[in-house]
Amino acid sequence: MKKVGVAILGLGVVGGGTYKILTEHEEFFRRTQEVEISVESVLELNRERAIALGVPEEKIAGNIAEVVCNSDVDIVVETIGGVGAAREFVLDALNAGKTVVTSNKELFCKYSHELERAAKRHNAGLYFEASCVGGVPVIRTLLDGVQSNEIYSMMGIINGTTNYILTRMAKCGCSYEDALKEAQALGYAEADPSADVEGFDAAYKLSILASLAFHTKVPFAKVFREGIADVTKEDIQNGKALGYCLKLLAIGKQTHSGIEVRVHPAFVKEGHPLAAVDGSFNAVYISGDSVGDVMLYGRGAGEMPTGSAIVSDIIYAATHSENKYSTFKNTATGDKETNYVADFKSAYYFRLTVTDRAGALAKIAALFAKYNISIEELLQKSGDEKTATLILVTHETHEFAAKNAVARINASGLAHVESVLRVAQ
Amino acid sequence: MKKVGVAILGLGVVGGGTYKILTEHEEFFRRTQEVEISVESVLELNRERAIALGVPEEKIAGNIAEVVCNSDVDIVVETIGGVGAAREFVLDALNAGKTVVTSNKELFCKYSHELERAAKRHNAGLYFEASCVGGVPVIRTLLDGVQSNEIYSMMGIINGTTNYILTRMAKCGCSYEDALKEAQALGYAEADPSADVEGFDAAYKLSILASLAFHTKVPFAKVFREGIADVTKEDIQNGKALGYCLKLLAIGKQTHSGIEVRVHPAFVKEGHPLAAVDGSFNAVYISGDSVGDVMLYGRGAGEMPTGSAIVSDIIYAATHSENKYSTFKNTATGDKETNYVADFKSAYYFRLTVTDRAGALAKIAALFAKYNISIEELLQKSGDEKTATLILVTHETHEFAAKNAVARINASGLAHVESVLRVAQ
């Protein structure tokens, strides 16, 4: 039977989950996968944490050199996070010919070229299923499940923190601030929530997933990004009245003009499978030329789901000697020939406060028409004596046209645009 | 670049789709998968069909021997269906050392042991993603995506024909007969619909999926099976009123008492991700010990989605030289040590016509209590002067207790049980 020794760098939430799965399933993996997996080493500064998890003292390494020089270690799991020590240690492991399994989306997003170069040079494997959407095997699906397809588009809810916040705002009518506090109290959001709520986390993941889907390295810098901090409960309720749910979507599209990659809040029509993805659940909706629409749904984070992805990668690495790398063009800045679309197409939701009511609607409609923006739905809500609230949902138009129209309306004095949200189609 | 020659046996719907995908994506596969795939031979009795698809005449084989003796053919795709010629031809191909990719659920369900034996003997690969749930990579997910998990349960909507019929009955209030006729007119159901509506198709697939999930060959004969032909619009509407959708579910569970495998109509609570799977869409909901709940959703049948799964298998076969077989215990009748649970647990929905109204409810409740069946929900509908309709939803109980209670109530003269449906939990 094949024997594989594993080292785990960092025994935090995900590293701890990985340790538990590996040590509790040794017999199961022998029986079902015909592979004997043992944890040979861990690198964790907090020795007490390691000991509390049951790691034998002699397996706690003092430094990375001890890990990469350990001939019993075949696979190094990196669950440290960030791009400091994690990057250095992963390179050390690859340069020593160890296969690396990582959950680190920022590292893989920003340094995949460097890591893959090192891996190839030393014939080491490099696996990263756990970097995106926790235990949901979306990377395995893109590589080995729908690889026969030209992928047109992917739309994902790939950040659990923001989905939890938006779900609470929709279901309980609470404000962004209150929903965020609740998420922090439950451990779904960090004390500094910016990586999640500003869309960085989703953008790292989208960069990785879009690179695999579109077969070209999509650099992080190309991902358009808007977070959810400005979302109001009023807009969520207005959307609901029109039959929409608000989600932080990660959208990747392959169009005739090039690739679109963007992370922003967007309304999704009720009845679309993504609209039902609530709370901390995640999902990725992929459209391919042969397979049509496929959706993968599950828990996008957490000790055990992310540990599941890491251990699945370990087993895959132990049982496959080929297919060690991703297949997108592997350069630091992406392929210079790939075109990216900044002026993407979308439908839009606008909320306006109309300050001069008499005849204002006709003038606003004329202004939108000037930018070739046609209105699909319109809802007028009574305001005070002088003002009214106008909700507009447009047909598909261009991002720049929408932005120009907004600037023009604000300059006109007819109305003030309070919020602009995209509507996914 | 790796070169792979493919033969396709049978150019019907799925074989035709496969041919189109392969011939239209040659350059795409060279660029993205670094593999050159060419169709070297087809076996199709209807030569006109092959020619209409654009197959060059010289590539149309006259018999299976021509295909398996063709040294340009590395991979044989079988899309004939059934267990007659298909079985014979697949064995011929494997015995000649050709890797086989099949969409044939009946063949793989019934003869996987024989096929895998032949494949191993000749070092040929055997792939069958297309046998279950069309283009949705559920087999790849079980083998390479969640293989780190002990799977507790899977619940699937894995037959598009029956899901189309049940969706139409729910949305339009039409009868089973009318919905079936509509499905036949649209090509979703065969002229003889029994393989679908009686649950055979779903049972073949469940046998395959449960074998992979539970790591033991689950023979078709062990799958409990009930079709949808007796489903009434009345029960669907009653379920709706109680917040349930009716689906033909394929359920596999690993319990302390053994494995449960069953295909039957079942109510699913609205809000469960499976309840939203409508029309000809399919989904499989998998629960594992680490990953938690994962759902895969997409088109479960059709020329292009099933062709997508076949071509993904071809690419996988061309780029992986290991992992050619499934990993469940490979015997004709399954592992004799595996226990199967016939008296499974479920909640139940009963519709009763109460013939003797005075005091009947108390007596019926007492009768259920005698079988340890407790009632969760109760709905009484007015009937004529002498009768009333009673809808009961129970807490979880045992299948045999439910059956015994029904027999006892019918024998009592108090009421007649018009329908019994299970409620999934």
Output b/e per residue, A285-318; b: 16+ Cβ within 10 A. Answer: bbbbbbbbbbbbbbbbbbbbbbbbbbbbbbbbbb
How many C-beta neighbours within 10 Å does residue A62 have? Answer: 10
CB of B47 within 8 Å of a chain A CB? The answer is: no
Closest alpha carbon within chain B to A273: B276
Element (H, E) at B421: strand B415-423
| Confidence class for position A35, pLDDT limits 50, 70, 90 | very high
Q: Which of residues 269-288 of A touch B (CB under 8 A)?
A: 271, 273, 276, 288
Residues B173-184: what's their mean pLDDT? Answer: 96
Residues of B (92-111) whose Cβ lies below 8 Å from A? none
Residue B34 distance to chain A (closest CA, Å): 9
pLDDT of residue A330: 63
Angstrom CA distances, B236 to A153, A313, B349, stand at: 36, 43, 11
Q: Does the beta-carbon distance from A145 to B312 stay under 8 Å?
A: yes
Q: How far is B221 from chain A (nearest CA, A)?
A: 23
Beta-carbon neighbour count of residue B400 at 10 Å?
Answer: 12
Predicted local distance difference test score (pLDDT) of residue A26: 97
Q: What is the nearest CA distance from A210 to chain B, expressed in angstroms? A: 14
Residue count of chain A? 425
A296 and B299 within 8 Å at the Cβ level: the answer is: no
pLDDT tens per residue, range A244-303: 999 999 999 999 999 999 999 999 999 899 999 999 999 999 999 999 999 999 999 899
A149 touches chain B (CB under 8 A): yes
Assess whether pLDDT exceeds 70 at residue A327. no
Q: How far apart are CA B341 and CA B251, in angstroms?
A: 12
Rounded mean pLDDT of A357-374?
A: 89
pLDDT band, very low/low/confident/very high, at B356 (cuts 50, 70, 90): low
Q: Which residues of chain B does A142 touch, with a Cβ-Cβ cutoff of 8 Å?
A: none
- Asked whether residue B357 carries a pLDDT value surpassing 70, the answer given is no
Q: Report how far residue A390's alpha carbon sits from residue A268's, in angstroms, rounded to the nearest whole number.
A: 20
Record: contact B296-A295, CB cut-off 8 A: yes
Chain A neighbors of B308, CB-CB under 8 A: 146, 148-149, 288, 290-291
A23 sits in the region (left: phi over 0; alpha: psi -120 to 50; else beta) called alpha
Query: Torsion angle of alpha carbons B200, B204, B209, B214, nearest 10°?
Result: 100
Q: How many angstroms separate the CA atoms of A110 and B402, rounded?
A: 59
Q: Say what the pLDDT of residue B327 is.
A: 63
**DSSP state letter for B60:** B
Q: Which residue has the higher pLDDT, A394 or B356?
A: A394
Mean pLDDT is lowest, of A324-338, B216-230, B330-344, for: A324-338
Q: Does B11 touch chain A (CB under 8 A)?
A: no
Among the partner-chain residues B295, B299, B315, the one whose CB lies closest to the CB of A298 is: B295
Between residues 192 and 221 of chain A, which touch chain B (CB distance below 8 Å)?
215
Q: What are the structural domains of chain A?
A: 2-131 (3.40.50.720), 138-299 (3.30.360.10), 345-423 (3.30.70.260)
Query: Helices marked H in A186-277 — which ranges?
Result: 194-197, 200-214, 233-241
- On whether the CB atoms of residues B108 and B208 are closer than 8 A, the answer is yes
Give the helix/strand (H/E) hosting B214. Answer: helix B200-214
Can you state the percent helix, strand and coil of chain A, rounding each to 5? 40, 25, 35
Contact A293 B298 (CB under 8 A): yes
Nearest to A160 by CA among A138, A132, A140: A132
Q: Do B320 and A316 touch (CB under 8 A)?
A: no
Per-residue pLDDT reduced to its tens digit, B240-296: 999 999 999 999 999 999 999 999 999 999 989 999 999 999 999 999 999 999 999
Residues 318-347 of chain A with CB under 8 A from chain B are 319-323, 327
Catalytic residue among B105, B205, B217, B247: B205
Strands A75-78 and A2-9: parallel
Degrees to nearest 5, angle at CA B340 with B339 and B345: 125
A413: left (phi over 0), alpha (psi -120 to 50) or beta: left
Instruction: Kindly state whether A262 is in contact with chain B, defined as any CB-CB distance less than 8 angstroms.
Output: no
Residue A404 belongs to what H/E stretch? helix A399-412
Partner residue facing B297 (CB), from A21, A146, A273: A273
d(CA B18, CA B101): 11
CB under 8 Å to B192, separation ≥6 — which residues? none
Question: φ, ψ for residue A218 (rounded to 5)?
Answer: -95, 105
Which of A31, A307, A312 lies at the smallest CB-CB distance from B147? A312
Round the average pLDDT of chain B to a whole number and report it: 95
Tens digit of pLDDT for each residue in B5-37?
999 999 999 999 999 999 999 999 999 999 999
Is the CB of residue B296 less than 8 Å from the CB of residue A146? no
Q: Is B31 part of the contact surface with chain A (CB cutoff 8 Å)?
A: yes
What's the mean pLDDT when you consider all of chain A?
A: 95
Contact pairs from chain A to chain B, CB under 8 Å: 177
User: Which 8-state DSSP code applies to residue A60?
Assistant: B
> B146 contacts in A (CB within 8 Å)?
135, 137, 308, 312
Q: What is the pTM of this model?
A: 0.96
Kindly give the residue spans of alpha helices, DSSP state H, lying in A215-345. Answer: 233-241, 303-319
Which chain B residue is nearest to residue A29, measuring alpha carbons? B148
Distance CA B305, CA B311 (A): 10
Residue A327, min C-alpha distance to chain B (Å) = 7
User: From CA A385, how far away is CA A334, in angstroms rounded?
Assistant: 55
Distances (CA, A) of A383 to A230, A352, A410, B206, B254: 22, 11, 18, 58, 59
Query: What is d(CA B117, CA B266) in angstroms, rounded to the nearest whole number?
Result: 37
Is residue B244 within 8 Å of B423, Cβ to Cβ?
yes
ipTM of predicted assembly, 2 dp: 0.95
Residue B367 pLDDT level (bands cut at 50, 70, 90): very high
Query: Residue A142: closest CA among chain B residues belongs to which residue?
Result: B137
Give mean pLDDT, residues A201-211: 97
Contact A327 B33 (CB under 8 A): yes
Nearest residue in A to B284, CA atom = A296
Q: Mutate which of B22, B29, B290 to disrupt the A interface (most A C-beta within 10 Å)?
A: B290
> Per-residue pLDDT tens for B314-348?
999 999 988 788 766 667 778 888 999 999 999 99
**How far apart are the C-alpha atoms of B55 and B46, rounded to whole Å?**
12
Q: Do B141 and A144 touch (CB under 8 A)?
A: no
DSSP string, B281-310: EEEEEEEETTTEEEEEEEE-SSHHHHHHHH
- Which of the residue ranges A35-39, A184-188, A359-363, A373-377 would you say has the lowest mean pLDDT? A359-363
Average pLDDT over residues B114-139: 95
Contact predicate B148/A315, CB 8 Å = yes
Query: B150: nearest CA in chain A?
Result: A28
Which residues from chain B sit within 8 angstroms of residue A337, using beta carbons? none
Task: Find out whether B276 and B268 touch, Cβ atoms under 8 Å.
Answer: no
Confidence check: pLDDT of A59 > 80: yes
Q: Are B150 and A25 in contact (CB < 8 Å)?
A: yes
Instruction: Give the number of other CB atoms < 10 A from CB of residue A56.
Output: 10
- Write the residue in B28, B34, B135 that is nearest to A294 by C-beta: B135
**Subunit contact B32:A327, Cβ cutoff 8 A:** yes
Q: Is A143 helix (H, G, I), strand (E, B) or coil?
A: helix
B288:A296 CB<8 A? no
Cβ neighbours of A17 in B, within 8 Å: 290
**Phi and psi at residue B15, to the nearest 5°:** -60, -40
